[in-house]
Structure 1
Amino acid sequence: MIIPALDIINGKIVRLYQGSYHMETSYGNPVSLLRQYICQGAKMIHLVDLTGAQNPSKKQSSLISQLIREATPLSKIQIGGGIRNTTDIEFLLKAGATRIVFGSVAVTKPEMVRKWFEYFDPNHLVLAVDIRISSTKDRKIAIYGWKKETNLKLEQIIEEYYTIGLKHVLCTDISKDGTLLGSNISLYQSICRSWPKIFFQSSGGVYKLTEISKLRCAGVKSIIIGRAFLENKFTVAEAISCWQNE
């Protein structure tokens, strides 16, 4: 599945370069872009509340609820950014979101997150693993809007939650995000081979249609694309066609 991404700061669509809030490009109104993507055939939209990710007390809940209503019933919504507790998930599911994406809290409060896999249907939960790859090829998890790097490795966190029912993982190579420099194909080949029962979503770097066929061949079940759509490198409809024809 091709999943267009809409990252939102203070009510506007933006893209950050490699996750930096100091390297932000604005692209306008989220409602109009959402409608465009759905008209082109997008069956799921990936929303990121970047304001909420930076400061959970400033979540854009009203706007997010509006976007979910706009999408229904033609498209489903996957939403992340500032998910810190059970109430956040309950609110978004009640508002009509299909999947809830969480990352930092999986590192900082693993006991609580483990309970989520008992309380909620795992199909509604998406573990976001944002990684920085060092010169030694270690894949370390970054949290809090990518501002803090941990010593936790990608393999460790996936395995921790895989044992209790993890089904969906969104994996981002931070060095590729928002760059239009191409995806880390070898990364996705590696993780899809290691955990064939997990539905992996790739994120970051897609800039031409040939990347889509490479990623699907690597084994990912979905590709999240943001800047390439915003800058008209190709359309959502073209990306969906490429995915289906692979």
Structure 2
Amino acid sequence: MRIIPAIDIIDGKCVRLSQGDYNQKTIYNEDPLEVAKEFEANGIKHLHLVDLDGAKSSHVVNWKVLERIAVQTGLQVDFGGGVKTDEDIKVVFESGAKQVTGGSIAVKDAAIFEGWISKYGNDKIILGADAKDGRIATHGWLESSELEVVEFIKEWNKKGIEYVICTDIAKDGMLAGTSNELYEEILGLNKLRDNNIAKPSFDGLTSKDEIPAFAGIKLIASGGVAVVDDLYRLREMDCEGAIVGKAFYEGRITFKQLREFV
């Protein structure tokens, strides 16, 4: 399982929010590049970079932060926040991102998002499935939709999505443990496919012929990681990756523990 530290950006600074609330903001470093270099120096290879200004304003804002990190480190960066247009995603990839996460765009303009999967490949595009009370939230978690999160993931999986970052907003930044029941339900789609067994809990599927429509979902868990034991549990569940934020910054998980985990 990949360990993916998160750097969230507001006004060019490294911050963390609690439950996505922009009014509950803690600044951890004025220069995100310093944080990224520290991660790399301790053996980290991947980074989840979130443009919170972009998410709020519906267009990419902090692409220069991405560019500095991509040029001055060897980290493999996935970038999310405010990527809404073909020009946005072009700028993000040209600035050095290896993957792009789209959440609100997959809800508000599915045709554009589906076009990105076709153009860039499903190894480059990540579906951002941010859940609030079991429903998909958009626009930096400031708006809610009526879309049920597991159904949302299942439908995009049929359209070619493999990588999914799922964040339970209630858990994010709270250091209270991960949303394991939700992740088990999502990963149940993989078990359904692999076992070729129909289960009524998945929209009443009753025919074996329907099962192969599901491709493998590579689930990246996000939100609530508090201690290293949370990571072991996520790995046991077969999560492909885990995003860690505040637990790093608050010293709840050390680099020594991560090396032992890996």
TM value normalised by structure 2:
0.86
CA displacement at 1:10 relative to structure 2: 0.3
Determine the C-alpha separation between the residues in 2 that align with 1:156 and 1:237.
38
Partner of 1:67: 69
1:19 equivalent to 2:20? Answer yes
* Partner SS, residue 7 of structure 1: strand
Partner of 1:116: 116
From 184, 201, 218, the equivalent of 2:237 is 218
CA displacement at 1:156 relative to structure 2: 2.5
Partner of 1:46: 48
Shift of the 56–132 alpha-carbon distance from structure 1 to 2, 3 Å rule, reads: closer
Partner of 1:136: none
Determine the C-alpha separation between the residues in 2 that align with 1:43 and 1:241.
15
* Partner SS, residue 145 of structure 1: coil
1:144 equivalent to 2:139? Answer yes
Partner of 1:36: 38
Shift of the 58–111 alpha-carbon distance from structure 1 to 2, 3 Å rule, reads: closer
Trace 1:75-224 onto structure 2 (pairs within 5 A).
75-133=75-133, 139-195=134-190, 197-224=216-243
Shift of the 20–155 alpha-carbon distance from structure 1 to 2, 3 Å rule, reads: same
Partner of 1:6: 7
Determine the C-alpha separation between the residues in 2 that align with 1:58 and 1:187.
30
Determine the C-alpha separation between the residues in 2 that align with 1:233 and 1:113.
36
What does the per-residue CA deviation read over 1:60-80, in whole Å, with 9 as the maximum and x for residues that have no partner?
Answer: 1222211111223xx211110
- Greater displacement, 115-124 / 19-28: 115-124
CA displacement at 1:21 relative to structure 2: 0.2
CA displacement at 1:236 relative to structure 2: 3.6
Shift of the 155–83 alpha-carbon distance from structure 1 to 2, 3 Å rule, reads: same
User: Larger relative contact order (C-alpha < 8 A, sep ≥ 6)?
Assistant: 1
Q: RMSD of the TM alignment (CA)? A: 1.3
CA displacement at 1:237 relative to structure 2: 4.5
1:228 equivalent to 2:230? Answer no
Contact 1:188 1:219 in 2 (8 A): no
What does the per-residue CA deviation read over 1:41-63, in whole Å, with 9 as the maximum and x for residues that have no partner?
Answer: 11101100111111135601222
What does the per-residue CA deviation read over 1:192-226, in whole Å, with 9 as the maximum and x for residues that have no partner?
Answer: 12135111000011111111110111121100000
CA displacement at 1:240 relative to structure 2: 4.4
Determine the C-alpha separation between the residues in 1 that align with 2:236 and 2:171.
19
Equivalent AA in structure 2 for residue 13 of structure 1: C
Equivalent AA in structure 1 for residue 35 of structure 2: L
What does the per-residue CA deviation read over 1:81-112, in whole Å, with 9 as the maximum and x for residues that have no partner?
Answer: 10101222222222221110110010000111
Contact 1:103 1:127 in 2 (8 A): yes
* Partner SS, residue 170 of structure 2: helix
Q: Identity percentage over the alignment?
A: 32
What does the per-residue CA deviation read over 1:90-141, in whole Å, with 9 as the maximum and x for residues that have no partner?
Answer: 22222221110110010000111111121111100000011012xxxxx200
Partner of 2:196: none
**Structure having the higher Rg:** 2
Shift of the 12–97 alpha-carbon distance from structure 1 to 2, 3 Å rule, reads: same
Contact 1:41 1:237 in 2 (8 A): no
Determine the C-alpha separation between the residues in 2 that align with 1:56 and 1:140.
20
Shift of the 126–240 alpha-carbon distance from structure 1 to 2, 3 Å rule, reads: farther
Q: Runs of 5+ in structure 2 lacking a partner?
A: 192-215
* Partner SS, residue 123 of structure 2: helix
The list of structure 1 runs, each at least 4 consecutive aligned residues, that deviate by more than 4 angstroms after superposition, is none
